[in-house]
Amino acid sequence: MQVGDVLLCPDGTGKYHVGEIAGDYYYKEGEVLFHRRPVRWLNTTVERVLMSESLRNSTGSIGTCGQITRHAAEIEALLSGVRGPILLTNDASIQDPLPFALEAHL
């Protein structure tokens, strides 16, 4: 991880808190979590339900850290206020694409 990298941290409720790496690694002896990096937490969250299936799969990895750079465009869209998965359709009968997309999960 590098200074300036954006991170998503799950809170266990279906939301991811967004932060930015704000400094270099340091070691804090005597603490429970002694390997550290300063993080500047942003006042925003990303709802897991709004992520594409591919991004949900990538953020659900078992490791402590995962590389999700290939989803940068989708993450930027979610952070800029675009709500819901990015959907492409020519079907004019679909009034609201989010409920339409979520029906696939019922």
> 47-98 pLDDT, tens per residue?
888 888 888 888 877 767 778 888 888 888 888 875 555 554 555 665 555 5
Better-predicted residue by pLDDT, 20 or 86 = 20
pLDDT at residue 29 is higher than 90: yes
pLDDT digits (tens, 9 = 90+) for 34-47: 999 999 999 888 88
CA 47/CA 69 separation, integer angstroms: 18
Q: CA-based Rg of the chain, rounded to a whole angstrom?
A: 17
Mean pLDDT value across residues 1-19:
89
CA 51/CA 59 separation, integer angstroms: 10
CA 30/CA 61 separation, integer angstroms: 29
CA 65/CA 7 separation, integer angstroms: 9
Q: What is the mean pLDDT of the chain?
A: 80
Dihedral sign (CA 36, 40, 45, 49): negative
pLDDT at 82: 58
> pTM of the prediction?
0.68
